[in-house]
Structure 1
Amino acid sequence: MVLYFILTRLTATASSSSFTHHNIAHIQLGSLLQHKHSNNAFLVLFNSFTSATPSDGNHHKGDTFTVSYLINSCGLSPELAKKLSDRVNLKNPETPNAVIALLKHYGFSKTHVAQIVQKYPKLLVANAENTLLPKLKFIQSIGVSNMDMPKILISNHCILFRSLKKCLIPRYEVLRSVVRDDLEAVRALRNAPRCFTYSDIMSYLVPNIEALRQCGVPQSSISHLMIHMNSVAFARHSKFLEAVNTTKEFGFNPLRTNFVVAILVLLKGKEVWESRFEVYERWGWNHEMAVRAFRKFPNFMKLSEKLFTRKMSFLVNDVGWPSEDIAEYPLVIMYNLETRIIPRFSVIKILKSKGLLGKNLHFRDFICITEKNFLEKFVVKFQKDLPLLPDVYRGVINHSNVM
C-alpha cells in the first residue's frame, strides 16, 4: 500500500510537468514496477527521482555567469576564466561591479584589473565599501599615488584584507620610523610591497636596523637599504648579524653606502661568495685583487659564474683588455654586454682604426660614462666623417663593414 501511494503521488507530479518530464517519469515508474516485489523498490524509486536536483542547475548557471563575467568585465581569456571559476563563484554582477569601480577610481586600468583578478579572483566578492575602501583610503593618505597603487596591490593583494588597526597602521609606523620621511616610506613600500605584510617586522626589521645604527651606519645608507633592497632588512636577525660582521672583516667602511650593499651580497652565505673568489682566481685575480674589487663595487659579486665568465671572455679574449685592469674597475662588468659594452666597443674600434682616437684610451672613459656623453663624444662628433657610425652603434650594420 505504501508503495502504491508513493507511485500515485509521483505519477501525479510527473503528469503536471512538461512533456519531457512526463515521459521520463513513466519510464522510471515502469522500471520501478519491474522491481515492485524487491525489497529495494523504494530505494530505486528515490534514486531515480533525485538524480537531478534543482541545485545542480543553479550551480551550473553560477559557473556560466562567473566565466562570462571574468571574460567580459575582467578581460580574461575564456580558458583562464574557466580555470578561475573553480576559485570564485559570482552570484550577481552587483558585488564585483562595485569592486571593479572602486579599483578604477584608485588608478586601476583594465589590464591592472585583469592582473589582480588573475592572482586573487576572490577579490571580486569582497565588500567594496567596508573591506576595501578603508585600506585604499589609508594607502592613499600616506602618499601613494594612483599611478603606484596598482603596482603595490597587484604585488601584494593581502594588504586589502589585513586589519587596518592591528596590522597596516602599526607596520607603517615602524616602516616610517626607519626612513627619513613619508616619501621614502612610500618608495620602500612600492619597491617591495610583500615585505610589508609577510615579514616579521618586530623580530627582524627593527633589530636589524638597530644593529646597523650601532655600527655607525648613517641614516642615508639605511634609507638606501630600505628603498632599494629592503628584503635585506627583513632577513633573519642571526643571519643578518653574521653578514654585518663579515662585512666588517672585509674592511668595508660603515659610513659608506657600500657597507649595506656588501651585506646584501654576503647574506647569500659563505659558500656562495667563496665560490665567486674561486672564479675570479681563474681569471688571474689573486685574493687581494678580488677583495679590493669587492670593496670598490660589491654589486659585481652578485653576477653568476656563467654571466661573469661570459663578460670576462669578451673583454679579455675578444677585446684584449688586461684582466687586472678590469679588477681595478669592476663596475665595467656590471653593464649589459649586448646593449652597452659591445656597441660602444664597436664604435671605439672604428674610430681607433681611422686614427681618430688615441690608442691609450681607457675603457672607463667610454664604458662608464652616460649615454648622452658617449653619443656626444664618440658618435655625433665624428658622424660627418663617418655617417654610418650611428648605424654601427645601433647594431644595424657590423663594425667590420665600416673599418
Structure 2
Amino acid sequence: MLSPSPPPAMLLLQKRILLLSSRPRATTALLSFRHQCLSSVTRFATNAYAAAAATAVAAAANSAPFAVEDYLVSSCHLTRSQAIKASKVLSHLKSPSKPEAVLGFLSDLGISDADVAAVVAYDPLFLCAEVDKTLNLRLAELRDLGLSPSQIARLVLVDPARFRRPTIISKLKYYVPLFGSFENLLQALRPNSYLLSSDLENVVKPNVALLRECGLGDCDIAKLCVPVPRLLTTNPERVQAMVAQAEGVGVPRGSRMFRHALLAVAFLSEEKIADKVEFLKKTFRWSEDEVAIAVSRLPVVLRNSNDKLQRMSEFLMSEVGLEPGYIAHRPAMITYSLETRLRPRYYVVKYLKANGLLQRNRSYYTAAQVSEKVFMEKFIHPHKEAAPLLAQDYAASLRGKVPTRFRPEEPRTDSESTLSIP
C-alpha cells in the first residue's frame, strides 16, 4: 500500500523553514525553531499516516463480501453441504443484519439450534424475512387465534415458508375447528403441509362437503384425514372416485364402516383392489360371499401385505385349524400381530386346555381379541397356583421363544410335562 502524501499545508511549512535556514543571518534561535517545526511536522505526518492506514483497513473490511456460507455454518448450525446449497439462494445478502434479527425471533420462540438448522435448511429465505413487518405481525395474529408460543414454534417447524404468508391465518381458522384441535391439525400437517397451501374454496371445502354427504361428521373426517391428509388436498373428482370404490367393496355410505372403507381404498387403483380381493379368496379359500363379508366387516384387510396374509392363513388354518368361513366372519384376527399376539396366546390357550385348566369349548378368538391387560387377567393370573411358570413361559413366547412346555410334540421329562399342577 502506498504511503499517503503529506497535506499541502505541511509542504508549505517545510518549504518556509528550509528557506529561512539557507540565509546567512540565521541564528541559533532560528535553527532551534527549525528543529521544533520539523519535529512537529514529522509527528503530524506519522499520525496522519496511521489514521489513513486505519481508514483504508476499515474500508477494505467494509467492502469485503459477506461470507454467507460460513455464516450459515457458524450461526445457523447447518452442515457444510447444507450451507453450500442454501447459500445459492442467499447470495444477495450483503450483511448479517437481517439474519441476526430472524435468529433472535426464533430464539425468542424457544426454537433450539437443531431446529433452527432445520428451518434454514428447509427455507433459506426465512433468514431474509422482515421481523417487524412480517414475523412479529404473524406472531400477533396467531396469538389472537389462541395459539401458545410453543404451538407457534411447532407451526414454524412444520412449514417455515407458509408461516410467513398471511393466508396461513384463514387456513387455520378453517382447519382447527374441522380437526377439533390444533394438536390434531398438527398431526395431519406433519406428513402433508400442503394443507396450508391448498385452495380452500375450490379443493378442500368441496372435498369436506362430499365426505359430509357420505355421512361423516367432522370428528370422522378428522380421524380419516389425520392418517391420510391428502384426501382433503386431492382433486375433488379423484375423491369422488374413491367414494365409489369404497361403495364397490360392499360398504354403503352412511354405514359405520364407511370411513374405514374409504381409508382402505384411498389412492389404490381399481386393479390393485381387484387383485387383493382375488388373493384373499385364494389364500383363505373364501367364496365371493365370504370375501365380501370379511371386507365389509373390516375393510382394512385390503391394506395387509400379501406376505402377511399368507402367513396368517398358514397359521390360522393349518396350525390352529380354523375354518375359512369362521375367519371370514372374524377378519380382525388377520390384522393382529402373529408374533406378539396370535401365536403366544394360542400357546397359552392350547396348554390350558390340554391340562384341564380351560374348558374345551372356550373360543380361541375370545383370547385373541381382548387387550393384553384383559388377557393377563383372564388367562394367566387365575392359574398362578396351578401353573406357576405360565406367566414366565408366555413372556418368553412374546420374545419369540417357544418354551418346552408349549411343545407337546417333543418328548419331555416328568418335571417338564406339566406346569406344577398340584
TM-score normalised by L of structure 2: 0.67
* 1:110-169: CA deviation from partner (whole Å, max 9, x where unpaired): 44334333333443343334333333444454344555555544333332132x1xx223
Residue 391 of structure 1 pairs with residue 395 of structure 2 = yes
Tell me the amino acid that sits aligned with residue 302 of structure 2: M
CA distance in 2, matches of 1:248, 1:143: 40
Contact between 2:98 and 2:130, CA under 8 Å: does it hold in 1? Answer: yes
Q: Residue 210 of structure 2 corresponds to which residue in structure 1? A: 211
Q: Residue 41 of structure 1 corresponds to which residue in structure 2? A: none
CA distance in 1, matches of 2:150, 2:365: 37
Q: Residue 281 of structure 2 corresponds to which residue in structure 1? A: 281
* 1:53-96: CA deviation from partner (whole Å, max 9, x where unpaired): x89x945844333322243xxxx555555555555567666544
CA distance in 1, matches of 2:143, 2:364: 47
Q: Residue 158 of structure 2 corresponds to which residue in structure 1? A: 155
Residue 115 of structure 1 pairs with residue 118 of structure 2 = yes
Q: Of the candidates 58, 63, 73, which is equivalent to residue 67 of structure 1?
A: 73
Taking structure 1 as reference, are residues 293 and 158 closer, same or farther at Cα in structure 2, changes over 3 Å only?
Answer: farther
Contact between 2:73 and 2:80, CA under 8 Å: does it hold in 1? Answer: yes
CA distance in 2, matches of 1:16, 1:319: 99
Contact between 2:69 and 2:83, CA under 8 Å: does it hold in 1? Answer: no
Secondary structure of 1:108's aligned partner: coil
Name the larger-Rg structure.
Answer: 2
Residue 191 of structure 1 pairs with residue 188 of structure 2 = yes
Q: Residue 134 of structure 1 corresponds to which residue in structure 2? A: 137
Tell me the amino acid that sits aligned with residue 155 of structure 1: V
Q: Give the deviation of 1:318 after TM superposition.
A: 4.3
Contact between 2:180 and 2:222, CA under 8 Å: does it hold in 1? Answer: no
Tell me the amino acid that sits aligned with residue 401 of structure 2: N
Contact between 2:176 and 2:185, CA under 8 Å: does it hold in 1? Answer: no
Contact between 1:243 and 1:263, CA under 8 Å: does it hold in 2? Answer: yes
CA distance in 2, matches of 1:360, 1:101: 70
CA distance in 2, matches of 1:190, 1:382: 43
Contact between 1:280 and 1:290, CA under 8 Å: does it hold in 2? Answer: yes
Q: Give the deviation of 1:202 after TM superposition.
A: 2.0
Q: Give the deviation of 1:292 after TM superposition.
A: 1.6
Tell me the amino acid that sits aligned with residue 280 of structure 2: Y
Q: Give the deviation of 1:197 after TM superposition.
A: 2.1
Q: How much is the aligned-residue C-alpha RMSD, in angstroms? A: 3.6
Unaligned runs of 5+ in 1: 1-12, 18-53
Taking structure 1 as reference, are residues 223 and 85 closer, same or farther at Cα in structure 2, changes over 3 Å only?
Answer: closer
CA distance in 2, matches of 1:111, 1:356: 57
Contact between 2:264 and 2:300, CA under 8 Å: does it hold in 1? Answer: yes
CA distance in 1, matches of 2:152, 2:95: 27
Taking structure 1 as reference, are residues 81 and 216 closer, same or farther at Cα in structure 2, changes over 3 Å only?
Answer: closer
Secondary structure of 2:255's aligned partner: coil
Contact between 1:350 and 1:399, CA under 8 Å: does it hold in 2? Answer: no
Give matches, 1:4-403, under 5 Å. Answer: 58-59=64-65, 61-71=67-77, 76-77=78-79, 80-81=82-83, 84-86=86-88, 88=90, 95-145=98-148, 148-162=151-165, 164=166, 167-175=167-175, 179=178, 183-184=180-181, 187-192=184-189, 194-267=193-266, 268-283=268-283, 284-383=285-384, 385-386=388-389, 388-389=392-393, 391-395=395-399, 398-403=401-406
Deviates more, 1:383-392 or 1:288-297: 383-392
Secondary structure of 1:399's aligned partner: coil
CA distance in 2, matches of 1:78, 1:349: 60
Tell me the amino acid that sits aligned with residue 270 of structure 1: E
Tell me the amino acid that sits aligned with residue 158 of structure 2: S
CA distance in 2, matches of 1:106, 1:368: 46
CA distance in 2, matches of 1:114, 1:238: 39
* 1:309-352: CA deviation from partner (whole Å, max 9, x where unpaired): 34434433444443433322222222334443344444444444
CA distance in 2, matches of 1:319, 1:101: 64
Contact between 2:142 and 2:169, CA under 8 Å: does it hold in 1? Answer: no
Taking structure 1 as reference, are residues 379 and 109 closer, same or farther at Cα in structure 2, changes over 3 Å only?
Answer: farther
Q: Give the deviation of 1:270 after TM superposition.
A: 1.0
CA distance in 2, matches of 1:150, 1:70: 17
Q: Give the deviation of 1:226 after TM superposition.
A: 4.3
Contact between 1:143 and 1:186, CA under 8 Å: does it hold in 2? Answer: no
Q: Give the deviation of 1:244 after TM superposition.
A: 2.1
Taking structure 1 as reference, are residues 298 and 153 closer, same or farther at Cα in structure 2, changes over 3 Å only?
Answer: farther
TM-score normalised by L of structure 1: 0.70
Taking structure 1 as reference, are residues 93 and 265 closer, same or farther at Cα in structure 2, changes over 3 Å only?
Answer: same
Tell me the amino acid that sits aligned with residue 307 of structure 1: K
Runs of 4+ residues deviating >6 angstroms: none
Taking structure 1 as reference, are residues 269 and 358 closer, same or farther at Cα in structure 2, changes over 3 Å only?
Answer: same
Secondary structure of 2:403's aligned partner: helix
Q: Give the deviation of 1:274 after TM superposition.
A: 0.7
Q: Residue 51 of structure 1 corresponds to which residue in structure 2? A: none
CA distance in 2, matches of 1:346, 1:146: 52
CA distance in 2, matches of 1:171, 1:213: 19
CA distance in 2, matches of 1:332, 1:145: 43
Q: Give the deviation of 1:273 after TM superposition.
A: 0.8
Q: Give the deviation of 1:277 after TM superposition.
A: 0.5
CA distance in 2, matches of 1:111, 1:354: 59
Unaligned runs of 5+ in 2: 5-59, 407-422
CA distance in 2, matches of 1:87, 1:152: 23
Q: Give the deviation of 1:376 after TM superposition.
A: 2.4
The alignment-based identity, stated in percent, is 24
